Amino acid sequence: MDLKELLKSYRNKIVDEWIYRLHTEVSERYSARPIDELFKTVSKAVDANYYALIYNDKNKINDHINWIAKLRLEGGFSLSEVQNAYELYRVIIMPYLNAELDEKEYVEVVYKLNQHLFYTITRFSDYFQALHEKWLYLYAKRLEKEVENRTRKLQESEREYRFLLNEMNDGYFVAVEGRVAFANKAFAQIHGYSVDEVIGKRFLDFVSSGDPLREKLKYILQNGLQKEEVFVYLRRHKKGTLYHTEMKIKPILYKNQKGIGGILRDITEKVELEKKMREAERFVHLGRIATCLAHEIRNPLTSVKMNVQIFAQDVSLEGYNKRRLEITLKEIQRLEKLLSDVLDFARPVSLNLKKTNPNNVIMQCIENLRPQIEEKQIEIKFNYTKNIPSFLLDEEKIKQALYNLLLNAVQAVDKGGRIEINGRTRKENLTIRIIDNGCGIKKSDIPFIFDPFFSTKPKGTGLGLPLARKIIEAHGGIINVKTRRPKGVCVEVVIPVRE
């Protein structure tokens, strides 16, 4: 089945699931919308995506963006809510692509889908923001004229203006001599303060000390600016956490003093989405290269292995010569395992779901690792809920993922170390935690542990964690890795229970 036939065959299912998810998962605003309206908006989006993916015709998706941006802006929706709604198309369609397309076509279609959604979400974001700013601009102009014509009601008009600013989804502020002279509720909230707390603070207190734009902002706040400018910087929250932020500032006159007025919004979700899309494209290219190399290496390696095995059967070999062949054979087997891992990681995950008890899978993994556990005299503690039900899993792939995670723990602990495994179901999710008291992970290595081929072990392939995450995410789950004090690591796997 090609992409065109797939999209036609599953159109109604995609529409129904998209409506259901919009109504139940995205936000309270979407939950409050009538089903008839969602059916209309989703049906048009599905058809527009079809024309873009099949015929590279973006006219329909452009029309949909213009229509939905006005509709959702009038409904009081935030930018991120509608971005998430568009992103649902990828989540819904991926299982159908995985099930119906061959490997080569799957890679090409996923790449095309990523490009299309990046175009759609970026174009929508820009258009939505432009409409929002235009609406604010026109409203401010109307208000300004009303104030000029009704000077006797200046105080009342000022209250209305302040109310408008406080109801804005984006943060608005005025800085005079580098300090915040006015701020709306949204500005205070996205920084973790109340409005009273931010008044009088230096604006630079809300900018990361390590941001490369900090010095330029400092100069502008002290000396002013001549025209409107846009900055993207790291916003500092009251708790110390940093968030990507876009800010538009311009010179204004505030209470007869020269100052700077600005509108800012959080773009962390947009930045993370772009990062994920770049990562997905990188993995697709990496998968192509890895698959090609693995196939090219596997055939000659098999030939080498057969010849070594024949030499090993020579009874005249003895002493260190025989030991050399044994070592060579062992290293060939290690290379075969590496090639197998590379191919597993490169190909799309296809699930064979059947009723499986997760406790049994964990017990099998422990038994498979029993020789290494006994050799290092590791204490294993398995805490589990006895009545955990069997549910739909790909038993072999989940076993592969959990085996990799347990193997990492076994290799990390010292002789006489301890590994604790906790399994339970809660709120329709299965949660498995693997906790060890081993050497832990350096803080600087944490961002890279799921990158393919990243490893700190002398003979590590760097594919165990990436492959485990790929399998778990294929089941609709997530995996998190945290360091523990004084030492050790906690790996948490959460998988939805599907019956």
pLDDT (tens digit per residue) in 278-287:
766 666 666 6
pLDDT (tens digit per residue) in 95-113:
999 889 888 888 899 999 9
Would you say residue 121 has pLDDT above 80?
A: yes
Whether residue 405 contacts residue 492, with contact meaning beta carbons closer than 8 Å, is answered with no
Whether residue 301 contacts residue 338, with contact meaning beta carbons closer than 8 Å, is answered with no
| Mean pLDDT in residue range 361-384 | 89
pLDDT at 326: 74
Q: What pairing do the DSSP bridges indicate for beta strands 379-384 and 418-426?
A: parallel
| Mean pLDDT in residue range 319-337 | 73
Would you say residue 194 has pLDDT above 90?
A: yes
pLDDT at 211: 86
pLDDT (tens digit per residue) in 33-85:
999 999 999 999 999 999 999 999 999 999 999 999 899 888 888 888 988 99
| Mean pLDDT in residue range 159-166 | 56
Q: Could you give the angle at the alpha carbon of 263 between the alpha carbons of 260 and 264, nearest 5°?
A: 120
| Mean pLDDT in residue range 163-181 | 80
| Mean pLDDT in residue range 470-491 | 88
Read off the pTM: 0.43
Q: Express the helix, strand and coil content of the chain in percent, nearest 5 each.
A: 60, 15, 25
Would you say residue 159 has pLDDT above 60?
A: no
pLDDT at 339: 67
Would you say residue 323 has pLDDT above 60?
A: yes
Would you say residue 163 has pLDDT above 60?
A: no
Other CB atoms within a 10 A radius of the CB of residue 21 amount to 17
pLDDT at 196: 92
- Residue 256: band (very low, low, confident or very high) from pLDDT cuts 50, 70, 90: confident
| Mean pLDDT in residue range 110-131 | 89
Mean pLDDT for the chain overall:
84
Would you say residue 193 has pLDDT above 90?
A: yes
pLDDT at 247: 92
Would you say residue 223 has pLDDT above 60?
A: yes
Cβ burial of 462 (10 Å; 0-12, 13-18, 19+) is buried
Other CB atoms within a 10 A radius of the CB of residue 127 amount to 17
| Mean pLDDT in residue range 311-315 | 65
- Residue 176: band (very low, low, confident or very high) from pLDDT cuts 50, 70, 90: very high
Distance CA 234, CA 232 (A): 7
pLDDT at 74: 86
pLDDT (tens digit per residue) in 407-438:
889 988 999 999 999 988 877 888 899 999 98
The whole-angstrom distance between residue 330's C-alpha and the CA centroid of its chain comes to 39
Query: Greater confidence, 460 or 357?
Result: 357
| Mean pLDDT in residue range 393-404 | 89
Query: Greater confidence, 370 or 163?
Result: 370
CA torsion, points 426, 429, 435, 440, in degrees to nearest 10?
Answer: -130
Torsion over CA: 354, 360, 364, 365 (sign): positive
Task: Please give the order of strands across the beta sheet that includes 242-254.
Answer: 179-183, 171-176, 257-266, 242-254, 229-236
Would you say residue 393 has pLDDT above 60?
A: yes
pLDDT (tens digit per residue) in 430-469:
889 999 998 888 888 888 887 776 777 766 667 778 888 8
Alpha-carbon Rg for the chain in angstroms = 29
Query: Greater confidence, 120 or 160?
Result: 120
